[in-house]
Amino acid sequence: MPEDHAAARIKLEREVRGWSTVKLAEEMAAAGHPINQSAIWRIESGKPRRRVNLDEALGFCQVFDITMQDLTGPPGELATPRVRELAQTYVQMTLEYRQLRAAIDRNQMHLREIQMELDAYGDKGPEQRGQVDELLRLEERAAMRNLHPSQARRRNQGQPPADE
């Protein structure tokens, strides 16, 4: 049974990473455990299945960053396509979230810098403060008009917005 579990886990780990058998063979060679692509295929799918030797098993553990127990134990729920799909989606969305969070953080920092400059200009006197406030109101109204769906539809059709 451990041989069958290892074969299933090797295939699972390779597929989760989106690797071909060629890519896995390259990763194994880079880790100092060379094995050719056809041997990997025979381990995963051969009839009869090719056995995994100890050096290869250690290499698979290293490349996949799993323990020998993980490699030879029953794959369990990890092998179900739905769980693999969920795990892949979760990781992808987490990475996207981190990228968006970093962009939001950069945006906030930039906004603080702009606010400081606007405040410095407005601090010169009530007339300058009024100019900044009025300019911000005008810019916000213009931006909101540009976001309104009816305006976007008119722009896409090459027509000027209704209030112009």
Query: How confident is the model at residue 151, as a pLDDT?
Result: 56
Residue 15: which residues within 8 A CB-CB, separation 6 or more? 84
pLDDT, residue 1, reads 80
What is the arithmetic mean of pLDDT over 4-32? 93
The count of other CB atoms within 10 Å of the CB of residue 30 is 11
Q: How far is CA 55 from CA 18, 72, 75, 90, in A?
A: 24, 14, 21, 33
d(CA 37, CA 59): 14
pLDDT at 82: 74
Instruction: Indicate whether this model's pTM tops 0.85.
Output: no
Contacts of 36 by beta carbon, 8 Å cutoff, 6+ apart: 25
CA atoms of 65 and 123, how far apart (whole Å): 58
| Spatial contact of 16 and 84, defined as CB atoms under 8 Å apart | yes
Q: Is the pLDDT of residue 17 over 70?
A: yes
Short-list 62, 87, 89, 57, CA closest to 73: 57
Residue 102: predicted pLDDT: 96
* Dihedral of alpha carbons 20, 21, 25, 31, sign: positive
Taking only the tens place, the pLDDT of each residue in 26-69 is 999 999 999 999 999 999 998 999 999 999 999 999 999 999 99
Taken in order 86, 87, 90, 93, the sign of the CA dihedral is: negative
Q: Which residues contact 80 (CB under 8 A, 6 or more apart)?
A: none
Q: How many residues does the chain have?
A: 164
Instruction: Report pLDDT digits (tens) over 59-110.
Output: 999 999 999 998 998 866 565 667 777 888 898 999 999 999 999 999 999 9
